[in-house]
Amino acid sequence: MDEHQLRHPFDEAVRQIHSEIRLAHAALLLAEDAYDNVSPPAYLARLDAMAKRADEGSPRTASDRVSALRQVLVDGEGLQGNLDDYHNPDNLYLNRVLDTRRGVPITLGTIWIDVADALGWPIVGMDMPGHFLLRYDGDDEELLIDPFNNGHEVSRAFCAEMTTRLFGPEFQLTEAHFAAISPRGLLGRILGNIYAFNVQREDWPQAVWALRRLNAVSADDAVLLAELGRLETKLGDLDSASRSLKHALKLAQGTEHVATINHHLFEVRRLINERN
């Protein structure tokens, strides 16, 4: 039974409605494929224990709750940005971030969100490009948090300066960049980083794996499916490539991508005919 017949546990997890997706659990399901002997329940229990400690003083205000999280996650657990080895792939997998206590903004942010969510505290990830940030989304107070830099609070002016530095003065920061990112959106950003890492080192099987997981997050993305089909072709998995490209072509009707997808599909059919 191949992967198309037996759905991956991560794919099943992200098909739930947003409110039922536990981010940390879904992220740990990704880690099970990359590392041996990963026990999601054990890691989730650790996160639950962190939430219990953060709530010991029964903080009620936004500032007190963020301070309590910082005390547990940064001061107690020692979770911080991996400045010395930022591009280490361990930084993208939640089990390794919890083990090494080092990560990148989005995986550290996932931990903050999971612990806060266990307590019903409204901390969300923001759709900020370049550097993942958090927002305490209270009724009376907005706090912006940088999980990579010891959970320090930042301002909207800081965000504007950061995006200008990263993308140039022509970049326009809008209100949409401060909007909450969905659980699927956050997991998609993690997988996008995993995909990019594997493309950079030309590990095509792992790049295909990442795209298949991304397809569970964004099932109607014709460009993603076309790239998946192209890489499946590169690996000689022609039947999978044909399925991916046919689905991509159906989704792309009426767009500029049709010609490129048709070209890839023609090549796959030629290779299948040669094989037969």
Transcribe 179-203 into DSSP letters. Answer: SBPPHHHHHHHHHHHHHHHHHHTT-
Environment class of residue 125 by beta-carbon count within 10 Å: exposed (0-12), middle (13-18) or buried (19+)?
buried
N- to C-terminal Cα separation, the chain = 22
- Answer whether 30's CB lies under 8 Å from 45's CB: no
- What share of the chain has pLDDT > 70, as a percent? 98
Report pLDDT for 6.
61
* CATH class in words for 9-178: alpha beta
* 55-93 residue pLDDT tens: 999 999 999 999 999 999 999 999 999 999 999 999 999
Residues 6+ apart with CB under 8 A from 49: none
- Answer whether 31's CB lies under 8 Å from 191's CB: no
Q: How many whole angstroms separate alpha carbon 274 and alpha carbon 264?
A: 15
Res. 18: pLDDT tops 90 = no
Domain 183-275 has CATH 1.25.40.10: yes
* 237-275 residue pLDDT tens: 999 999 999 999 999 999 999 999 999 999 999 999 998
Q: What is the mean pLDDT of residues 28-52?
A: 96
234 token code pair: 């590169």
Res. 140: pLDDT tops 80 = no
Residue 262 C-alpha from the chain's centroid: 30
Res. 43: pLDDT tops 80 = yes
Model confidence band, residue 4 (pLDDT cutoffs 50, 70, 90): very low
Report pLDDT for 221.
94
Q: Specify the residue for token string 């990263």.
A: 166
Res. 5: pLDDT tops 60 = no
Domains of the chain by residue range: 9-178, 183-275
Res. 14: pLDDT tops 80 = yes
* Partners of residue 145 on adjacent β-strands: 134, 153
Supply the mean pLDDT for the chain.
93
> Which stretches of the chain are assigned E, i.e. beta strand?
80-81, 102-103, 123-125, 134-137, 142-146, 152-154
Q: Specify the residue for token string 């739930």.
A: 16
190 token code pair: 């993690």
Res. 1: pLDDT tops 50 = no
Angle between helices 258-275 and 238-252 (to 10 degrees): 160
* 163-222 residue pLDDT tens: 999 999 999 999 999 999 999 999 999 999 999 999 999 999 999 999 999 999 988 899
- Answer whether 117's CB lies under 8 Å from 47's CB: no
